[in-house]
Amino acid sequence: MIASYCVPGYFLVILPLVALAYQIVPRQHRRKLLLLADYAFFFAISGKLLIFLLVSTVSIHHIGLWLESFQTERDLAVKGAERSERKQIKAVYKGKMRGVVTLGILFHVGLLLVLKYANFFGSNANALLGALNLPFSLPEFKLALPIGISFYTMQALSYIIDVYRGTVKPDRNLGRLALYMSFFPALIEGPICRYSDTADQLWAGNPITYRNLTFGAQRILFGLFKKMVIADRLNPLIQAVFLNYQDYDGGVVALAMVCYTCQLYMEFSGTMDVVIGSGEIFGITLPENFRQPFFSKSISEFWTRWHITLGTWFKDYIFYPVSLSAPLKKLTSNARKKLGNHFGPMLASGIALFCVWFCNGLWHGSAWNFIFFGLYHFVLIFCGNLFEPFNQSSLEKLHINRQGVPWRVWQTVRTIILVNFGELFFRAHGLQAGLAMFKKIWTDFKLDAFASGDYLVGIDVKDLIVVIAGVVFVLVFSILHERDVSVREAIAGQKLPVRWLCYYGLILLIIIFGAYGQAYSPVDPIYAGF
Amino acid sequence: MEELYEILEELQPEVDFKTATNLIDGHLLSSLSIISLIAELEDAFDITIPAVEIVPANFNSADAIWALVQRLSEDD
């Protein structure tokens, strides 16, 4: 079974069947049906590896109850104690709860490290041992990875940390936690949900309404358009150039880089439209993962608009806890007195940022090019923060208006260029290939292939025209969204013939211009591999 | 409250903290400013601000920050 939401088997068979069954069964059984569908979906893709999801779910349930027992004991002890003793009692229980939550974190992170990164660390350790001429090596394991492990592990960690912090009440109901961990539309590529956002919605078993059904279907259609008309159509060019970059000049490599950035956005955001639209059908509001990222004016803003649920996860569970840890707080306090408000907190935030971006790179995959991708963004964001006062004073001296259109356009263009170079390393077959491609763009840039037409690798002019028209279509929607215009509400407010003309129009566009059939190989779901 | 205004104005003089109600949502306080602000608040009011309290609701206005400081002072 193909692990993708953009295949007819999903949106024409699985989703309608589950939705139909969900609507038919009595309300109190809908949650059971949904859980059955989740587990059947997982089993169909990952088979017996379902055990990992089960173990993860049972373990967070147990940890939640464990933390709850300490919370109850602590509250009782505090109630009966003198005011002077309360602080001490709280500190004792905080230590115990910290021990429990640390155990839970180590278990989940350890499982992920073993399953996803054992070979990466092993092969690098072996290379190091070989270089040192040491006569032993680590065994290599071929471990199968359960689908969506990187996503549901983040959900598991956020649940136990939130219970520890007291922002979420421990859930005694194993079924509700299991539903939270495994909602099938979000299982493969996220979004990374928080327990407080989705658990109750999933458990409620609300009926499917006409509005939810049509709004969900609209969103799915728009996602399929992005994926099938744009991302899949660009695939032959990207595959060919990234695989045999040596055969092309820097101009074609640069084109492939731009096409890949476009493909990644259309594929991932398109899949998210299908996922969020699927949730909408069941009346479940899943968190948004994209907010017009290519309108960002800096790399740090870009990451508040691209893969939002991953960014907020790292901010809430790594950036702030690290930068506000006791040693770093002390460092900030001392540094501020000597270096001032801007440069004072820079070291602590730099350490926290490094942790975030190292983990972000590693999360995307067990290869050096992903780690490089993470550290590339760390350097850009850190330097952006560091040089902000210099940047500001330079603009003032040059009499450049920071709010003026030319400067804002330049900021946007600059951000898009920097994002493209990051994605080049992200897609490259290894770090060496990424560096070689980067070098080619700067040292072997020619326009000959564009003059002769040789730049069209694996695609033709018609494909290119369809892609450009598709990008313009998506861009118009993005501009309207950026201006807070809801196109979906506007369409829903029209009379029936106009509404259905829009829906059928979009379906026809996908059927006519979608890249499917024997002549095309659709791009695999990129984030499913993470 | 006056002490809080002084801290905030020293941190970011260009922002009118007496009227602003979207310090986080409006990107007036960056993550870097928040780290500075927390260090300053902890020193000035002898409190500990845990990471869990860093949510927009607690930092969107001077009033919200003041309410957080008072709550944490009582807890301590």
- ipTM over the 0.85 cut-off: no
State which residue of chain A sits closest to B35, comparing Cα positions: A345
Is B2-75 a CATH 1.10.1200.10 domain?
yes
Q: Which residues of A touch B (CB under 8 A)?
A: 87, 165-167, 315-316, 319-321, 323-324, 329, 332-333, 336, 341-342, 344-346, 348-349, 385
pLDDT per residue as tens digits for the range A249-292: 999 999 999 999 999 999 999 999 999 999 999 999 999 999 99
Q: Which of B36, B42, B58 to mutate to test the interface with A (most CBs of A within 10 A)?
A: B36
- Residue A194 CB contacts under 8 Å (≥ 6 apart), including other chains: A155, A158, A162, A287
Measuring CA to CA, which residue among A302, A268, A221, A236 is closest to residue A467?
A236
Percent of chain B whose predicted confidence (pLDDT) is above 90: 17
Residue A161 C-beta-side C-alpha neighbours within 13 Å: 19
3-state secondary structure A412-451: HHHHHHHHHHHHHHHHCCCHHHHHHHHHHHHHCCCCHHHH
Alpha helices (H) in A244-316, listed in sequence order: 250-281, 299-302, 308-314
Predicted pLDDT of residue A528? 62
The pLDDT of residue A465 is above 90:
yes
A527's tokens: 């984030």
Tokens 């479940």 appear where?
A: A284
Q: Are A164 and A71 in contact (CB under 8 A)?
A: no
The partner residue sitting opposite B11, judged by closest CB among A165, A329, A341, is A341
Question: Hey, are the CB atoms on A345 and B50 less than 8 Å from each other?
Answer: no
Question: Hey, are the CB atoms on A336 and B36 less than 8 Å from each other?
Answer: yes
**Mean per-residue pLDDT over chain A, rounded:** 90
pLDDT per residue as tens digits for the range B18-42: 888 888 877 788 777 888 888 888 8
Domain positions in chain A: 8-207, 208-290+432-530, 308-427
Q: Which residues pair with A306 in a beta bridge?
A: A290
The pLDDT of residue A225 is above 60:
yes
pLDDT per residue as tens digits for the range A165-197: 988 999 999 999 999 999 999 998 989 999 999
Judge whether B72 is closer than 8 Å to chain A, CB to CB. Answer: no
- pLDDT band, very low/low/confident/very high, at A339 (cuts 50, 70, 90): confident
